[in-house]
Chains A and B, each alone.
Chain A
């Protein structure tokens, strides 16, 4: 975005890091309270980073989300959460939560039919719509959607660029490293595809790409547009975001800004406001990409207490032994096969 650019002497007018800022920790502050769910971030990310199309998704029924989750082929993922109104009087016809769970039947019509006690073959106009109970539409007569209890939350998820990055710590080849901007990046040409990072990541962010795709077999995730940063540009998603939901900058400035924003929203009575990944004392030492949420992290599919599995170091070292063997095997395969 460009319009209300937050001043920082470490960013140029285009929002990218100015030369000489190497050593500064840069990151994202994703303010989900202003996300409009346009998915420009997803598309801009894919365009810039040439991330392949996801082949495993069609119509998911999960609100407007057909991306599903973060992975090798989705480095930004916009979650859509419909929180139903709390009106008790509304007949739910046994449906339960409607969106986001498994596809579910309206009881093949049965639950609803029983509830309405009518033959569905009859049009409401023809058969006594009187059978349909006349209920208040909304409880109260609230003045805002929030007061209705109905909310449609949207949030653009991304790699957290942890202070203590589990993926990096378990990577046996050193393919994953901290850049000069303190971001976490996988080197495609070093990664051997062992996949330890995949299981280590407490957020389920990093993933191996399917064979057959460019770089297939290797692990991929958001690079915070390392290449763009080196060229003094801001990451593609942040530039594309029309509402400033995705903000890029020096992390400490973002943190200060997030504190102010959270205060503002809480002061305005917005329910559920909390910062996520902001606390440097959490299980991953805080995130380089953190969020302002409007509900508990679980609601957005985020783990409430992510932990870098360093406390299981012994176990990890055993795995590294296996990994080393893997490297040898992979190297052999590369020699024999000509490529990975």
Chain B
């Protein structure tokens, strides 16, 4: 669901085809009939932005029929935990959970907590902006006044700061009130049942726009394929994340999989396919402003004065996060070496502090307000790839300087002289003060390094050819930039103050070749870390908080164990076991499947022979199997922790979810998710349909709106103006191009496969709007209007929502004004509105209108947008009249083919 794997991950999709060949049944649920649907055994469409309704329907189906895998659910999830007596569900409160404050638009999650005298539990993932413990012992995550969560975002086709702060403490669950009979009205199981009671097949059918039978065909297939003998996996991509309910979409899938016993077991799981190569790597060793390597929170200006306050506020009493200072001190040692000593806080003060929201979208808005002077883009093309790309062009034009490092001269480097706003007279080249520096970058085949893929697998790649001309690797750029700045500042009057962190940095990687290319393996060795004697560490358990170990990223510790580049292992699949443990290296500690303790029953025996993976070896007194156990290796299945146990010892022998505060899989999230403990169907921020479940909560009340003159909203119901933009708009990628086009639109081999921007519509839309197959259409939102060639296709299935036929307009987003294959960027149409948990843009579901013919290129473009907003009916009439006389364009004949 929410994934077009065949088109966007074709190499990975070979394994889906392999599974199909071996008898797996492939179900595809997605708004559009794609190349993935063509390969599926069952395809079910749904209206964009209704995934939670569909998944909620699955949860309803599982619970109503008692199809849950009870032997798994009872011991391994929090189904039996009883929730605070103040808790209320959206059905009681007209669309919101208890704890919602409409004034500040925030939740207090106190009433979501477990009942009993257990300490409040912290999430293993999710909301990690606030510290675990405040000065006054208050929990800031629960206190809206204790901190403003700054959003972080990876804008271009990105996935938000999907990173997790695994700040859980593994507590003794004895204190949590439980009802093993699952009858207590406030136990999680019963709350789930109540919350999803309204997600009946009829409701799902009506909201998603499909028939009950089609929904039930998926529900029944999943139920039948789960249990002791069988497992099902769910694959998603940015079709789930890029919504104002992005994180909750994935939460809903977790509930389905936990209920069916499909987590931590072979053939199960929830597989996130990332938007680009090594997106996982770029959160592990992050490019996000609010994280340090290994998901350590970046210190903030107000709360983390010194190492002690940072340690206090970020260290959990139990579990892996009880060692936060160890990880941080080892990181400081890796960065400042001998200069980092106990008496200077290991140079904690050398770390930058964050003072607010420094995410890409906020920074872009700040540019418009003249608050940002310089900007560097590394492999990012926001004027094509980010939501409301027009806003990004306007913003870049406000800078003093801009550095673009990319493979080709992308639009973000040229907008100042050839962007659409220049044509339209909104920007004038002479008036743009931005000085643009373009620096050519080396491609991945031209440099050594690792990719970290979605399963946390690091794979080393070697340079196959040298970069041409002036192109250099990012490592080269970063290393030599640092070196040169340091040289320039040598002897400066701020040497011992402002510049000291730079001068003391360990910045001494060996270089080779005529261009002095730094040795990428030396960087990986530093990330892996070493002890006081310089010996490579073999795992994070060897890290110390006394300054005797250095480690650039604690979760990657072990990737260079024994001084061998473990990420470069390449054993043939015929020569190793099914977990492929001699290919590359997976964090943490080369565990290929997380939570794999759950692949055995509470007694430590495989659930079935067929699904055996990790099991307890009674004789040897340890866990064993096909993978590295993701568990304390010698903790017996029936182990019960001492009341005062800490760290891993605080686990029970049947607590597979060892990063969670209670060791259980969370059907209900007592904390960590800012917009509710259970996923709830809200309409997208812009939707043609009124929320059928919660009238007064149309869209996610916690979504992040960014009001700005360049970021207006399309009206949605109950606003009667919603009819101005009556079609659902969804953006996506196609197999032929790569994201914002920097790697594909500038190459003839790929460009010729899809040269022009196109829009996909159903025949009924073509009929309603007078569109010509192969001709031109103008797609309009309140932001702007773009043009595209028309593809009329039945793949864009119409959906019957609440008894009415509803259509969607499909917008592939790869094109821009540069390169060989050119066209308008679909992202011009979308607004900046973000998910509150991971701050990702909603570009998979919005609204638009579509008109026949091309758009104006000059000042009349703004006039069209304004005129349509004021009087859409007149605008449509005018365009249709033009189209009828001018025939809307020059359709190019397809090659006739008999069918």
Q: How far is the CA of A324 from the CA of B517 in the complex (A)?
A: 60
Q: Does A187 belong to the interface (CB within 8 Å)?
A: no
Q: A92-B763, A98-B794 are in contact. Are A137 and B799 (CB under 8 A)?
A: yes
Report the minimal beta-carbon distance from B384 to chain A, rounded to whole angstroms. 18
* Contact of A82 with B767 at beta-carbon distance under 8 Å, contacts A66-B752, A126-B723 already known: no
Mark each residue of chain B from 3 to 40: 1 if its CB lies under 8 Å from any CB of chain A, else 0.
Answer: 00011001101110110010000000000010111111
Partner of A150, one of B33, B735, B892, B895: B33
The answer to whether B462 has its CB under 8 Å from any CB of chain A is: no
User: Are A59 and B17 touching (Cβ within 8 A)?
Assistant: no
Q: Dominant SS at the A interface?
A: loop
From A53, A57, A64, contact of B734 by CB (8 A) = A64
Residue in A81, A95, A137 whose CB lies within 8 Å of B766: A95
Is B880 an interface position by the 8 A CB rule? yes
User: Within 8 Å CB of B793, what residues of A?
Assistant: 63, 82, 98-99
With a cutoff of 8 Å between Cβ atoms, the chain A residues found around residue B33 in the complex are 145, 150, 152
Is A125 touching B894 in the complex (CB atoms < 8 A)? no
Q: In the bound complex, how far is the Cα of B872 from the Cα of A54, in angstroms?
A: 41
Q: Are A109 and B884 in contact (CB under 8 A)?
A: yes
B773 touches A103 (CB 8 A): yes
Q: Which residues of A contact B849 (CB under 8 A)?
A: 123
Docked-complex contact B767 and A106, CB < 8 angstroms = yes
A54 CA / B752 CA spacing, docked (Å): 7
Looking at chain B's contact residues, is the secondary structure mostly helix, strand, loop, or mixed?
mixed
The interface stretch among B282-290, B504-512, B753-761 is B753-761
A109-B895 contact, Cβ under 8 Å, with A59-B789, A103-B775, A126-B873 = no
Chain A residues 88 to 116 lying within 8 A of chain B, measured CB to CB, are 91-93, 95, 97-113, 115-116
State whether the Cβ of A9 lies closer than 8 Å to any Cβ in chain B.
no
> Across the interface, do A97 and B722 meet the contact criterion of CB distance under 8 Å?
no
Q: State how many angstroms separate the Cβ of A299 from the closest Cβ of chain B.
A: 5
Of the four ranges (under 10, 10 to 19, 20 to 34, 35 or more), the interface on chain B belongs to 35 or more
The CA of A119 and the CA of B33, in the complex, are separated in Å by 29
- CA A84 to CA B899, docked complex, whole Å: 11
Using a CB-CB cutoff of 8 Å, which residues 11-55 of chain A contact chain B?
34, 36-40, 42-43, 46-47, 53-54
Whole-angstrom distance between the Cβ of B262 and the nearest chain A Cβ: 21
Q: Are B893 and A102 in contact (CB under 8 A)?
A: yes
B736-766 contacts to A (CB < 8 Å) = 736, 748-750, 752-756, 758, 763-764, 766
Binary contact track A112-135/B, C-beta < 8 Å → 1, others 0: 110110011111111001001011
- Closest A residue, CB atoms, query B772: A105
Nearest residue, chain A, Cβ from B800: A137
Q: In the complex, which residues of chain A have a beta carbon less than 8 angstroms from the beta carbon of B803? A: 134
Pairwise interchain contact A121-B749, C-beta atoms closer than 8 A: no
**In the complex, B619 has a CB within 8 A of chain A:** no
List of B residues within 8 angstroms of A312 by Cβ: none
Question: Is A243 within 8 A of B17, CB to CB?
Answer: yes
Chain A stretch 126-159: residues in CB contact (< 8 A) with chain B:
126, 129, 132, 134-138, 141, 143-145, 148, 150-154
Q: How far is the CA of A144 from the CA of B896 in the complex (A)?
A: 28
Contact present for B35 and A36 (CB under 8 Å)? yes
Knowing A82-B795, A141-B214, the reply to whether A59 touches B755 (Cβ < 8 A) is yes
Q: Which residues of chain A are near B754, meaning CB under 8 Å?
A: 59, 64, 66
Q: Does A69 contact B (CB under 8 A)?
A: yes
For residue A58, CB closer than 8 A to chain B, the reply is yes
Q: Is A242 an interface residue (CB 8 A)?
A: yes
User: How far, in Å, is B608 (CB) from chain A's closest CB?
Assistant: 25
Q: How far is the CB of B458 from chain A (nearest CB, A)?
A: 21
Given contacts A102-B896, A242-B11, A43 and B764 within 8 Å (CB-CB): no
Do the beta carbons of A121 and B880 come within 8 Å of each other? yes
State the Cβ distance, B521 to closest chain A Cβ, in Å: 26
Residue of B nearest to A119 (CB): B877
A251-295 near B? 1/0 per residue, CB < 8 Å: 000000000000000000000000000000000000000000000
A38 touches B735 (CB 8 A): yes
- In the assembled complex, A61 has its CB within 8 A of some CB on chain B: yes
Q: Which residues of B contact A98 (CB under 8 A)?
A: 763, 773, 792-794
Query: For the complex, what is the distance from the CA of A294 to the CA of B18, rounded to whole Å?
Result: 19
- Complex CA gap A85/B458 in Å reads 44
The answer to whether the Cβ of B568 comes within 8 Å of any Cβ in the partner chain is: no
- Whether B255 sits at the interface, judged by CB under 8 Å, is no
Q: Which of B734, B753, B767, B880 gathers most chain A CB within 10 Å? A: B767
CB pair B773–A61 under 8 Å, yes or no, is yes
For A57, the chain B residues whose CB sits under 8 A away are 752, 755
Instruction: Say whether A120 contacts B749, CB under 8 Å.
Output: no
A232 contacts chain B at the CB level, 8 A cutoff: no
Within 8 Å CB of B722, what residues of A? Answer: 125
Q: Is A115 a contact partner of B894 (Cβ separation < 8 A)?
A: no
Given A61-B894, A102-B896, A243-B13, residue A46 in contact with residue B749 (CB < 8 A): yes
Decide if B770 is an interface residue (CB 8 Å cutoff): yes
CA distance A178 to B800 in the complex (A): 59
Interface size bucket, A side? 35 or more
Q: Are A145 and B43 in contact (CB under 8 A)?
A: yes
How far apart sit A177 and B277, CA to CA, in the bound complex (Å)?
A: 44
In the bound complex, what is the Cα–Cα distance between A83 and B897 (angstroms)?
12
Q: Please tell me if A326 contacts chain B, counting CB pairs below 8 Å.
A: no
- Say yes or no for A1: interface residue by CB 8 A criterion: yes
Contact of B6 among A1, A36, A42 (CB under 8 A): A36
Residues of A within 8 A of B884 (CB): 108-110
Residues from chain B with a CB closer than 8 A to the CB of A39 are 735-736, 753
Least CB distance from A135 to B in Å reads 7
Does the CB pair B899–A36 fall under 8 Å?
no
| Pair A67/B753 contact, Cβ less than 8 Å | yes
Please give, as numbers and ranges, the residues of chain B lying within 8 Å of A111 by CB-CB distance: 767
Task: Name, among B210, B750, B897, the residue most crowded by chain A CB atoms within 10 Å (CB to CB).
Answer: B897
Asked if B275 lies at the interface with its beta carbon under 8 angstroms from chain A, I say no
Contact B897 A144 (CB under 8 A): no
Is B763 a contact partner of A95 (Cβ separation < 8 A)? yes
Knowing A4-B18, A120-B880, A138-B211 are in contact, say whether A95-B899 is a contact too (CB < 8 A): no
Instruction: Check if B794 sits within 8 Å of A82, measured CB to CB.
Output: yes
Say yes or no for A3: interface residue by CB 8 A criterion: yes
A198 to chain B, nearest CB (A): 17
Please give, as numbers and ranges, the residues of chain B lying within 8 Å of A121 by CB-CB distance: 873-874, 876-877, 880
Chain A residues, CB < 8 A from B41: 144
* Chain B nearest CB, measured from A58 CB (Å): 5
Q: How far apart are the CA atoms of A129 and B774 in the complex, in Å?
A: 27
A47 to B876, CA, bound (A): 46
Interface pair B764/A93, CB less than 8 Å apart:
yes
Chain A residues whose C-beta falls within 8 Å of the C-beta of B873 in the assembled complex = 121-123, 126
**Contact residues in B for A164 (Cβ distance below 8 Å):** none
Judged by a CB distance under 8 angstroms, whether B225 is at the interface is no
Residues of A within 8 A of B756 (CB): 58-59
Q: Which residue of A lies closest to B877 (CB)?
A: A121
Please provide the chain A residues from 176 to 227 with a CB less than 8 Å away from any CB of chain B in the complex.
Answer: none
Taking a contact as CB atoms under 8 Å apart, the answer to whether B752 and A106 are in contact is: no
Q: Is A310 an interface residue (CB 8 A)?
A: no
Does the CB pair A120–B768 fall under 8 Å?
Answer: yes
Bound together, the chains give a CA A230 to CA B37 distance in angstroms of 39
B792 and A141 contacting across the interface, CB-CB below 8 Å: no
Q: Which of B14, B764, B888 is within 8 Å of A244, CB to CB?
A: B14
Query: Of B18, B35, B883, which is within 8 A of A154 by CB?
Result: B35
Chain A residues with CB below 8 A from B775, complex form: 103, 105
Let me know if B899 and A152 touch, CB within 8 A. no
| Contact of A38 with B6 in the complex, beta carbons under 8 Å | yes
Question: In the complex, given contacts A112-B767, A242-B17, what are 10 additional A-B residue pairs having Cβ atoms less than 8 angstroms apart?
Answer: A95-B767, A98-B792, A98-B794, A102-B896, A108-B770, A120-B770, A126-B723, A126-B873, A148-B43, A299-B898
Enumerate the 5 nearest inter-chain pairs by beta-carbon distance, A residue then B residue, closest first: A112-B767, A109-B770, A103-B774, A103-B891, A125-B723
**Interface pairs (28), CB distance under 8 Å:** A34-B21, A36-B17, A38-B7, A53-B752, A59-B892, A61-B791, A63-B793, A92-B763, A95-B766, A99-B792, A104-B774, A109-B768, A109-B884, A112-B763, A112-B770, A119-B877, A120-B768, A123-B876, A125-B688, A129-B805, A132-B805, A137-B797, A137-B799, A145-B38, A150-B33, A152-B35, A154-B35, A243-B14
